[in-house]
Structure 1
Amino acid sequence: MADHARHGEGAGRDAVPASGPDTIELRAFMGLAELFRTRGWPVPLPVRVHPGTTGPELLRQLDIAPEQVEVVFVNGKAVSPDLAVISGGDRVALAPPGVPGPYRVLLGFRKM
């Protein structure tokens, strides 16, 4: 895997924790949490990003298929992956399609 991947810039399967002001804390729910476990990623996963990273860019960096993510939480606010804008210092979480109704309400994305 490319050197940048080992330093959190293209996390893929061999992510090594990054740190610094250009780093986010990334978490995942449900089946995506299982993906983190399978890849041996810590929770939260520190990931280095550039200012204004979009949701699709983050998913490409992590080698996660877009259809695996329905909602991206950026600092607690639920947005569709296509509308997510992420910068260093943000706390980010990914939720897959199929989150049960009551949890959708609690997490704030029932209408998505």
Structure 2
Amino acid sequence: MDNNEVEVRAFSFLKELFEEREWPFPLRLQLDTECSASELAQKLDLPLDKIEAVFINGTAQTLDQGMVRPGDRIAFVPPGTPGPYRVILGIVKGSDQQKETS
């Protein structure tokens, strides 16, 4: 991978969008400067309301807090990941999960 590229993946129905658009998987995208994960999703015309979290180099973050830099590996995660996996993956913290189930 080129130092000015990001490697982008998606899961579930977001991955289906990649297939519909005939994008390679993973998608390698030229990125010259850092941007938020939300800005990257907008550049790719991905539906923001269908993205719950983004993995940036293996760390789960929200679209707004995650910053993407050239050379990063990105994965967009849709809503619907089962509860225990959300905690394991870091999409929600244990205390957040307790609030969701209360």
With the length of structure 2 as denominator, give the TM-score of the two structures: 0.83
Identity of aligned residues (%): 43
Runs of 4 or more, structure 1, over 2 Å off, are none
Q: Which residue of 1 aligns with 2:89?
A: 107
| d(CA) in 1 for partners of 2:15, 2:47 | 14
| d(CA) in 2 for partners of 1:31, 1:52 | 26
Q: Which residue of 1 aligns with 2:3?
A: 21
Q: Which residue of 2 aligns with 1:51?
A: 33
Give the CA RMSD over aligned residues.
Answer: 1.5
Q: Which amino acid in structure 2 is aligned with residue 105 of structure 1?
A: V
Deviations, residues 6-43 of structure 1 (Å, cap 9, x unaligned): xxxxxxxxxxxxx6321011111111111111111111
What count of residue pairs does the alignment treat as equivalent?
94
Q: Which amino acid in structure 2 is aligned with residue 71 of structure 1?
A: A
| d(CA) in 2 for partners of 1:37, 1:31 | 10
With the length of structure 1 as denominator, give the TM-score of the two structures: 0.76
| d(CA) in 1 for partners of 2:32, 2:47 | 20
